[in-house]
Structures are given as structure tokens and as C-alpha cells.
């Protein structure tokens, strides 16, 4: 039997693509029918991600497990914003706001899939707003996302692109929401943050980022149990308006309880890392965002918030990878 392979499973009415690396005892379960969520990732037979207890729970609370895609990431106040004089509206689902957009719950179109020694096990998929006109009737951006999830040498990676296929400039805000399973009482977190955003009373971004004791401590390594509060917006790179500005950076979770280190490397396009400690599972979420949440509604310049746009025909590439060193906690 070859080292790499893929297979399709049916569970609770959902089709699951299972990518397998037999040598590393690693596998990743992808759900293209529900946001291309990575609902499970295993390394050396142990879960790396917080997986949903059931698909019913995932459908009810879709951004609480695995690795969902976010566009726009975070909260959009009132479910709407304006860009270049055009109004963009999303469904209001969290009281009076939208949380994390729609592509993380919508069905994606399956593309190529395969497994071999050169490419590992992989699955490609696309999502285009124009293919979902009812869902995006009030969101006139003509963007097409294309992603390849790959499992190779035990590492899970994402290679993606987003292209503006419309005739007007389109806003671009993207993020991911990985929930890393860990022993929070015995885990050290390292994030190369140089500043932290002040948050307002509603949990949104307030003043632009500045140096903080939390950012300083995270650069050196901080025990999760010593972090006060469960939500923090951390600046790891300058916002890059230039598409070539993709200086990658790495976050680390050194888990002495499980005796492993998780290394999460993201493109510098994801200039913000949102640190979230969920109350519903033993995990920590390190969310890479291209902008600060609610960027288009803030009274700040795009250079300060990361509120990107794509010109007609313009394309941006993005990516991240997760490596797990088992038996290697620091």
C-alpha cells in the first residue's frame, strides 16, 4: 500500500475527503460541502484540532471547530459596510452583526484530488460568489477563491488564491480559525507579535496597535494559563498593500502535557493573529487575519486596518502550514 492516499466517506449526510499519510500516522478530514472546513487533523494517531462532537453541532455553531475559512473575518457591525461608495451586506446572525462571513458554511466546488510521493495527498476546491447569487445578492463582489489542501510528510498545508472576476474594485478580507487541541495548563505559546490592538467595550478593535506586555511576553513564550481574558488582537506584520509583501511568520504551541510542539506558519499577508481561548473545548485558536475585524467600518485608513481591495482581474495568493513535532515539547 502506498504511503499517501485519499478516500471519500459518508457521515450524517456529509461527504468527507480523508487525506492520509500512512507513514506518519497522519490524516486530515475535509468537508467541501460545508465551507471546506478541516474538521479533523491527526498526527501520530493523536488529534491536533478540536473536532466537532457531531455534524449537527457543527451546523449549529459552524465556527467553533476544526479550521473554517472566514471572509470577512470577525464581526461585521450591522452585517454591512461601504467600500468605494458601494454597500456590501451579509446576513445578520449574531444579535445585530455578522460573524465571519459566509464562505465557511457554504458548499465548495470540488476540483482535482490525488495522492502520490511528489504531491502527497491533496484536494482542490473553489468557491465563487457569482455561483451563489442568492446568498450574495446584497454583496456585489465577484471574487473566486481556489484552494489546495495538502497532507505531505505529516504536515497539513493550504495553498490558495483569490481573484477579482468583476468589473469594479472589490474588498478583500480573509482569515482562518484553527482550533488547536492542547493541554492549556501545561502549554507555552509563542507568537511573534510586536503590538496589540486596544479593544472597545463591545469586543471590537479600538485604538491602533501599540507595544504591550502581552505582546512582549508572547514573543518570549507565555503559559496559556497566565493569559488574562480570552480574546486578543495581535499585530505580527505591517499590513501589506503590495501583493509581494508576504513575509511569513510562525506561531508555536509547546505542549508539555501531550509532549509535542505544533508549529503554525502563515503568510505575512495575514498580518494580524487573533488569540482566542474558547470556553467550550480544551484548545486555543490562533486566527490569521488579513485585516483587523470590522476593518471597513472603522474610522481609520486602510493602511492602518488592512482593509484590502482587488482591482478587476487582480489576484492574491495566500497560504499556511501546520507541522507537528511529536515527543518534542520544549
Question: SS in 3 state form for 5-19?
Answer: EEEEEEECCEEEEEE
Structure confidence at residue 206 (pLDDT): 79
What contacts 211, CB < 8 A, 6 or more positions away? 194, 195, 196
CA pair distance 213, 208, nearest whole angstrom: 16
Task: Tell me the per-residue pLDDT of 202-235, one tens digit each, with 9 for 90 and over.
Answer: 777 878 899 999 999 999 999 999 999 999 999 9
pLDDT (tens digit per residue) in 163-205? 999 999 999 999 999 999 999 999 999 999 999 999 887 777 8
The C-alpha angle 259, 233, 324, rounded to 5 degrees, equals 20
Contact (CB, 8 A) for 19 and 123: yes
Q: What is the pLDDT of residues 25-70, one digit of tens each?
A: 999 999 999 999 999 999 999 999 999 999 999 999 999 999 999 9
Give the CATH number of domain 4-181+274-326; options: 3.30.70.1350, 2.70.98.10, 3.40.50.1000, 3.30.360.10.
2.70.98.10
Specify whether the CB–CB gap between 308 and 171 falls below 8 A: yes
Q: pTM of the prediction? A: 0.95
Q: What is the pLDDT of residue 53?
A: 95
Beta bridge partners of 97: 77, 94
CA distances from 175 to 9, 26, 67, 75, 318 (A): 27, 25, 10, 12, 10
CB 80 within 8 Å of CB 87: yes
**List of residues 6+ apart from 127 with CB closer than 8 A:** 36, 103, 106, 108, 109, 144, 145
CA dihedral 51, 5, 34, 12 (to 10 degrees): -70
Question: pLDDT at position 330, please?
Answer: 47
pLDDT by residue (tens digit) across 249-261? Answer: 999 999 999 999 9
Amino acid at each position: 500500500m502506498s504511503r499517501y492516499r485519499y478516500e471519500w466517506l459518508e457521515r450524517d449526510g456529509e461527504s468527507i475527503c480523508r487525506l492520509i499519510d500512512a507513514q506518519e500516522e497522519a490524516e486530515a478530514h475535509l468537508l467541501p460541502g460545508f465551507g471546506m472546513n478541516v474538521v479533523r487533523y491527526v498526527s501520530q494517531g493523536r488529534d491536533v484540532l478540536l473536532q466537532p462532537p457531531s455534524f449537527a453541532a457543527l451546523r449549529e455553531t459552524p465556527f467553533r471547530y476544526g479550521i473554517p475559512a472566514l471572509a470577512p473575518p470577525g464581526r461585521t457591525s450591522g452585517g454591512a459596510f461601504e467600500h468605494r461608495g458601494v454597500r456590501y451586506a451579509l446576513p445578520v446572525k449574531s444579535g445585530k452583526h455578522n460573524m465571519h462571513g459566509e464562505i465557511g458554511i457554504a458548499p465548495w466546488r470540488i476540483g482535482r484530488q490525488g495522492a502520490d510521493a511528489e504531491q502527497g495527498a491533496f484536494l482542490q476546491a473553489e468557491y465563487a460568489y457569482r455561483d451563489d447569487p442568492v446568498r450574495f445578492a446584497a454583496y456585489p463582489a465577484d471574487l473566486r477563491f481556489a484552494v489546495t489542501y495538502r497532507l505531505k510528510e505529516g504536515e497539513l498545508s493550504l495553498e490558495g488564491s483569490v481573484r477579482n472576476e468583476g468589473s469594479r474594485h472589490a474588498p478583500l478580507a480573509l482569515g482562518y480559525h484553527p482550533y488547536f487541541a492542547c493541554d492549556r495548563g501545561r502549554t507555552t505559546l509563542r507568537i511573534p507579535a510586536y503590538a496589540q490592538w486596544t479593544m472597545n467595550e463591545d469586543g471590537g478593535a479600538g485604538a491602533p496597535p501599540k507595544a504591550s506586555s502581552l505582546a512582549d511576553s508572547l514573543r518570549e513564550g507565555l503559559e496559556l494559563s497566565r493569559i488574562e481574558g480570552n480574546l486578543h488582537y495581535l499585530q505580527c506584520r505591517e499590513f501589506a498593500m503590495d501583493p509581494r509583501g508576504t513575509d511569513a511568520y510562525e506561531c508555536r504551541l509547546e505542549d508539555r502535557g501531550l509532549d509535542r510542539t505544533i508549529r503554525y506558519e502563515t503568510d505575512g499577508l495575514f498580518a494580524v493573529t487573533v488569540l482566542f481561548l474558547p470556553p467550550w473545548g480544551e484548545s486555543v485558536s490562533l486566527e490569521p487575519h488579513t485585516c483587523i475585524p470590522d476593518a471597513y467600518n472603522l474610522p481609520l485608513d486602510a493602511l492602518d486596518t488592512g482593509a484590502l481591495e482587488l482591482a478587476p482581474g487582480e489576484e492574491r495568493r495566500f497560504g499556511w502550514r501546520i507541522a507537528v513535532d511529536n515527543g518534542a515539547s520544549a
